[in-house]
Amino acid sequence: MNQIDLKGRVAIITGGARGIGYAAAERMLASGAEVALWDIDATRLAEAAAELGKAGKVSTQTVELTDEASVIAATDAVLAAHGKIDILVNNAGITGGNGKLWELET
């Protein structure tokens, strides 16, 4: 598999506790990046970090991506833990209701 050099880079991966996000974190770590996992599920985040942390620096933030204050707090936490942000893998999917957009309140 191709590997690019991501040493010194910091990646945020939304939906990073499992599935595609977890796999993306594995690849980023294998390529030398530090990873900040964002997910709504704190329990799965802790499990993912325990495993992925064996491969490199991993931080976790429990984030509700539909809540601006939650995203700002998580961003601040990443900057405090890693010093910068270079990469965003916007992977998070939908949890909860899946109403039609024109029927959802904003």
The whole-number pLDDT of residue 85 equals 98
Other Cβ atoms within 10 Å of 77 Cβ, number: 17
Examine the pLDDT at 15 and tell me if it is beyond 90. Answer: yes
Q: Say if residues 34 and 82 touch (Cβ distance below 8 Å).
A: yes
**Alpha carbon distance 52, 50 (integer Å):** 6
CATH assignment, 10-93: 3.40.50.720
Could you read off the pLDDT of 32-62 as tens digits, one per residue? Answer: 999 999 999 999 999 999 999 999 999 999 9
Examine the pLDDT at 101 and tell me if it is beyond 80. Answer: no
Could you read off the pLDDT of 72-97 as tens digits, one per residue? Answer: 999 999 999 999 999 999 999 866 66
Question: DSSP letters of 48-90?
Answer: HHHHHTTTS-EEEEE--TT-HHHHHHHHHHHHHHHS---EEE-
